[in-house]
Amino acid sequence: MSDSFKISHDDFDENCMFELRDTDHGNEFELIFVKHGTRYTFRCRHGQEAELLGELADHVRDPDNKLDWFDAAVISHQMGLKLKERLGQMVKRKTG
């Protein structure tokens, strides 16, 4: 398991939760996905989203992992929305 991925078992009221946020390091973000009380945390540098998705696919293929392809699709979609938002903010800063 790479150091950009960790699983922790915590108690949560929600059955499913997704959060994508920038870290204190500024050049990376953290993707948190909670499913049935298990928190999956992925960390990735900006610009390396494809590598993170590849790692996510590896975990989905692992029969010992509880993530499935639907989860991967949700995570991928949410990452795309966040990237679109970040690009929009960059364009606004550049244009005015």
- The number of distinct structural domains making up the chain is 1
Range of the domain at 10: 5-95
Cα(90)–Cα(95) distance, integer angstroms: 9
The answer to pTM > 0.95 is no
Three-state SS at 56: helix
pLDDT at 61: 95
- 35-92 residue pLDDT tens: 887 888 888 888 888 888 898 899 899 998 888 999 999 888 888 887 888 788 889 8
Nearest to 34 by CA among 87, 62, 74, 63: 74
Regarding predicted confidence, which is higher, 53 or 25?
53
